[in-house]
Amino acid sequence: MEPHVTSETRPSEPDYDSVDDVLTDRPSGAPEVDLSDRYEFFRVIQGYLDDASKVVGLPAHLSEMLAQPKNELIVHFPVRMDDGTMQLFKGYRIQHNNLLGPYKGGLRFHQTVSLDDLKALATMMTWKCALMKIPFGGAKGGVKVDTRALSEDELMRVTRRFTHALGNNIGPNYDIPAPDVGTSGQVMVWIMDTYMNQVGHAAKNAQRAVVTGKTLTCGGSPGREKATAQGVVHCITEWAKDNRFDLEGKTAIIQGFGNVGSFSALLLSKLGVSTIATGDHTGYMRTTEGFNAHKLSEYVKRNGSIAGYEGGKSISREEFFATKADLFIPAALENQIGAAEAKALDVKLIAEGANGPCNPEGEKILVERGIPIIPDVLANSGGVTVSYYEWVQNLRSETWDLDEVDRRLEKTMRDAYQRVFTYAREKDITPRVAAYCLALEHLGQAYAERGIFP
Ligand code: NAD
pLDDT of residue 18: 45
Residue with CA nearest ligand 1 atom 18: 281
Can you name the residues that pair with 109 across neighbouring β-strands?
143
438 closest CA partner among 380, 397, 378 = 378
Beta strands in 213-269 (DSSP E): 251-255
- List the catalytic residue out of 70, 104, 140, 144: 140
In whole angstroms, what is the distance from residue 429 CA to residue 253 CA? 27
pLDDT of residue 36: 53
Q: Is the pLDDT of residue 368 over 80?
A: yes
Distance 221 CA to ligand 1 centre (A): 21
Model pLDDT for residues 270-316, shown as the tens digit of each residue: 999 999 999 999 999 999 999 999 999 999 999 999 999 999 999 99
Higher pLDDT, 169 or 203: 169
Distance 301 CA to ligand 1 centre (A): 14
Q: Is the pLDDT of residue 27 over 50?
A: no
Model pLDDT for residues 223-277, shown as the tens digit of each residue: 999 999 999 999 999 999 999 999 999 999 999 999 999 999 999 999 999 999 9
In whole angstroms, what is the distance from residue 42 CA to residue 15 CA? 10
Residue 270: partners with Cβ closer than 8 Å, 6 or more residues away: none
- Contact between 237 and 258 (Cβ < 8 Å): no
In whole angstroms, what is the distance from residue 26 CA to residue 49 CA? 31
Q: Which domains does the chain have, with CATH numbers?
A: 70-216 (3.40.50.10860), 227-379 (3.40.50.720)
In whole angstroms, what is the distance from residue 48 CA to residue 54 CA? 10
Q: Is 146 exposed, middle or buried (0-12, 13-18, 19+ CB in 10 A)?
A: exposed
Residue 140 annotated to the active site: yes
Shortest-distance atom of ligand 1 to CA 183: 2
Distance 427 CA to ligand 1 centre (A): 32
pLDDT of residue 240: 98
431 closest CA partner among 269, 228, 242 = 242
Which range among 31-45, 198-212, 235-249, 289-303 shows the weakest confidence by mean pLDDT? 31-45
Best residue among 114, 150, 228 to mutate for probing ligand 1, ranked by most atoms within 8 Å of CB: 228
pLDDT of residue 15: 35
Residue 418: partners with Cβ closer than 8 Å, 6 or more residues away: 238
Shortest-distance atom of ligand 1 to CA 356: 32
pTM: 0.93
Beta strands in 18-120 (DSSP E): 71-80, 86-97, 103-110
Look up residue 445 and give its amino acid: Q
Distance 85 CA to ligand 1 centre (A): 30
pLDDT of residue 4: 38
In this prediction, residue 200 has a pLDDT band, given cuts at 50, 70 and 90, of: confident
Q: Is 450 exposed, middle or buried (0-12, 13-18, 19+ CB in 10 A)?
A: exposed
Identify the residues whose C-beta falls under 6 Å from ligand 1.
179-182, 228, 255-261, 279-281, 305, 331-333, 353-355, 380, 383
Best residue among 181, 255, 321, 390 to mutate for probing ligand 1, ranked by most atoms within 8 Å of CB: 181
Can you name the residues that pair with 327 across neighbouring β-strands?
252, 349
Model pLDDT for residues 416-430, shown as the tens digit of each residue: 999 999 999 999 999
pLDDT of residue 286: 98
Q: How does 276-295 read in b/e, with b if 16+ C-beta sit within 10 Å?
A: bbbbbeeebbbbeebbbbee
In whole angstroms, what is the distance from residue 401 CA to residue 403 CA? 6
- Contact between 213 and 178 (Cβ < 8 Å): yes
Alpha-carbon Rg for the chain in angstroms: 21
